[in-house]
Amino acid sequence: MTDFLTLYSPATVANVVCGFDVLGFALEAPYDTMHLRLSEEPGITITHEDDFNLPTEPTRNVAGAALL
């Protein structure tokens, strides 16, 4: 069993011309990358490597909330 997982989440474009709320597509870039790994410590720890100052508290971060 692996204890490490990397996820890539592409940006998307929605509401494409006449396909309003029906057509959409994923972009090659930009994208978010998430690295998940099992830890001996219980709970969820979030860190980020960008300048956007996103919340690192799991209940205030959409990635953490999805894991809860």
What's the pLDDT tens digit per position in 17-57? 787 777 888 888 898 888 999 999 899 999 988 888 899 99
In this prediction the pTM is 0.66
DSSP one-letter string for 14-68? ES-GGGTTT-EEEEEEEEEEEEEE--SSSS------SSS----SGGGSHHHHHH-
User: pLDDT at position 5, please?
Assistant: 94
Domain ranges for the chain, please list them. 1-35, 38-68
Contact yes or no for 64/44 (Cβ under 8 A): yes
Cβ(7)–Cβ(33) below 8 Å: yes
